[in-house]
Amino acid sequence: MTRRTMAIAGACAALVMGVGAALAADHEAGMPLSPQEAAGGWTVETGGHAVCMIRLTVNFGAQPNGSCGDALPAGVTGWKATSDGMALISADGQVLAPFNRWSNSLFVSHRSSGTDVQLMRGPPDPTPGSSSAGLTPGPRPYD
């Protein structure tokens, strides 16, 4: 085996081990959201921009604040756990926006328009001049 072949094999092994470790570290992906995990503020993002905040409660309430525009459907008053994440619901329990859990603090809703909407734990991390600069600043717990 040449040195080059050994180096390539070593790099491939390291890459595979790194990916496996990353997947193993995030044991929440694809799991239902619990009320205790849900409680608090979440940033609603779409198209790479923070557009508004939504507060989820342990009693399955949901309160969007600010103007979410097209990012969230009108009539969101609550949430419920699903087998692989959570869904925002109306007062009568109708699912308005399902979200798949991608990690401990990231939920993604795939829209028929092709634009995804993300819920990220905590307020946005504003960068001067960014679209999130007008939203409530603060650190994200996963930084």
Looking at the fold, whether 81 and 116 belong to one and the same domain comes out as: yes
Q: For 95-125, write each residue's pLDDT tens digit.
A: 999 999 998 889 999 988 888 999 999 888 6
Looking at the fold, whether 55 and 7 belong to one and the same domain comes out as: no
Collapsing DSSP states into helix, strand and coil, what is residue 124?
coil
Q: Which helix H or strand E contains 24, and what residues bound it?
A: helix 3-25
Looking at the fold, whether 9 and 52 belong to one and the same domain comes out as: no
Looking at the fold, whether 18 and 87 belong to one and the same domain comes out as: no
Residue 40 domain-assigned?
A: yes
Looking at the fold, whether 1 and 40 belong to one and the same domain comes out as: no
Looking at the fold, whether 62 and 17 belong to one and the same domain comes out as: no
- Whole-prediction pTM value? 0.69
The confidence score (pLDDT) of residue 53 equals: 95
Looking at the fold, whether 23 and 80 belong to one and the same domain comes out as: no
Looking at the fold, whether 21 and 61 belong to one and the same domain comes out as: no
The confidence score (pLDDT) of residue 138 equals: 42
Domain that holds residue 19: 1-29
pLDDT at residue 22 tops 70: no
106 phi/psi in degrees, rounded to 5: -135, 125
CB atoms under 10 Å from CB of 97, counted, come to 19
How many domains does the structure of the chain reveal?
A: 2
How many helices (DSSP H) and strands (DSSP E) are in the chain?
2, 8
Distance CA 113, CA 123 (A): 26
Report which of 127, 118, 128 is spatially closest to residue 88, judged by C-alpha positions: 118
